[in-house]
């Protein structure tokens, strides 16, 4: 909620910032931030834009990534990210939550909450992680209508169209879909679950708009670096669930230690100190603001 102590940009400003970063010569990295604290830590580390992953958000609520989220679920968390950091956020809206009317609602709600961009995929419900088997694709026409609806409902949003076709219908089918989505109004294309440098390069050669790569953990894509993606002509890379997976493992280990020993002392060197946490949260800036608000002026100009 740093908007209490900082002047924050408007949604239009955030969208323009994201678009500028995507079109810049240097590739932009978007770490997955799943709550306000992880977003603040990403900003402290120097990142200039964030990704709100549906998989990470679902996991943070104890849910699997099977399309269970609704726009209000996502908007609530999106506000945590935008209000805590003031950074542009690219928001995963899964399949758009339904048909064209649902997509329109999602676009307007995400815009009102400050989203810089949205990413929508061409699966049908129940959707799956893009690196799992058993995915089912929507028709090209259906996805085209949804992309068009996004741009009509909120022209300021950066629209990222994801295609899962490479693992279902083959790479050339994914290219065909990507070109159709661009004609419908997509600003950026996200080819999901590609398997090799060759596939990434073929996609770059045939699709003439900014491209986003997904460097997820434990997926079908080998672990390439941002420098490699940049060399292949890609404009952005997301790391959707990396922070959540690292945090979840650390939390489990400390819980096991507490259960076994009855003390957290063995983990103190792996924790943020109280000072470090307060610095991240800007605790004393908030406290100073509160003191300023509470100061009163009495009749005659004397301060209380």
CATH architecture of 2-242: Alpha-Beta Barrel (3.20)
Task: Kindly indicate the confidence band of residue 284, based on its pLDDT and cuts at 50, 70 and 90.
Answer: confident
> What dihedral do alpha carbons 202, 209, 169, 171 form, nearest 10°?
0
Chain segment 30-42, per-residue pLDDT in tens: 999 999 999 999 9
Please check whether residue 53 is in contact with residue 34, taking contact to mean a CB–CB distance below 8 angstroms. yes
Peptide bond just before 179 cis, omega within 30 deg = no
Strand order in the sheet with 236-239: 28-31, 236-239, 212-214
Q: Identify the bridge partners of residue 50 per DSSP, sorted by sequence position.
A: 89
Which region among 49-53, 147-151, 192-196 has the lowest average model confidence (pLDDT)?
Answer: 192-196
Chain segment 216-274, per-residue pLDDT in tens: 999 889 999 999 999 999 999 999 999 999 999 999 999 999 999 999 999 999 999 98
Percentage of the chain modeled with pLDDT above 70 = 92
Chain mean position to CA 240: 7
Specify the pLDDT at position 11.
97
The domain ranges of the chain are: 2-242, 249-294
- Is pLDDT of 129 > 60? yes
- Is pLDDT of 200 > 60? yes
- Is pLDDT of 302 > 70? no
Specify the pLDDT at position 244.
97
Question: Which whole number is the average pLDDT over 200-219?
Answer: 95
């Amino acid at each position: 909620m740093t908007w209490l102590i900082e002047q924050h940009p408007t949604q239009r400003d955030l969208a323009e910032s994201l678009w500028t970063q995507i079109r810049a010569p240097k590739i932009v990295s978007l770490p997955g931030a799943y709550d306000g604290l992880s977003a603040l830590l990403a900003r402290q580390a120097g990142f200039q834009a964030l990704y709100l992953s549906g998989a990470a958000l679902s996991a943070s609520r104890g849910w699997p990534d099977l399309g269970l989220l609704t726009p209000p679920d996502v908007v609530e968390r999106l506000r945590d990210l935008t209000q805590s950091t003031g950074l542009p956020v690219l928001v995963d809206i899964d399949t758009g939550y339904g048909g064209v009317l649902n997509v329109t609602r999602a676009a307007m709600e995400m815009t009102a909450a400050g989203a810089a961009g949205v990413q929508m995929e061409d699966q049908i419900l129940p959707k799956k992680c893009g690196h799992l088997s058993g995915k089912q694709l929507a028709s090209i026409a259906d996805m085209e209508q949804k992309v068009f609806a996004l741009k009509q409902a909120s022209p300021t949003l950066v629209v990222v169209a994801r295609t899962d076709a490479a693992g279902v219908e083959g790479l050339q089918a994914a290219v065909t879909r990507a070109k159709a989505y661009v004609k419908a109004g997509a600003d950026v294309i996200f080819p999901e679950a590609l398997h090799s440098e060759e596939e990434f390069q073929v996609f770059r050669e045939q699709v003439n708009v900014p491209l986003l790569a997904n460097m997820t953990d434990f997926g079908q894509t080998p672990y390439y670096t941002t420098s490699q993606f940049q060399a292949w002509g890609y404009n952005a890379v997301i790391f959707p669930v990396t922070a959540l997976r690292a945090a979840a493992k650390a939390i489990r280990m400390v819980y096991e230690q507490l259960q076994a020993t009855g003390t957290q002392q063995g983990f103190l060197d792996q924790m943020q100190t109280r000072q470090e946490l307060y610095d991240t949260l800007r605790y004393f800036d908030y406290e100073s603001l509160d003191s300023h608000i509470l100061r009163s002026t009495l009749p005659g100009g004397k301060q209380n």
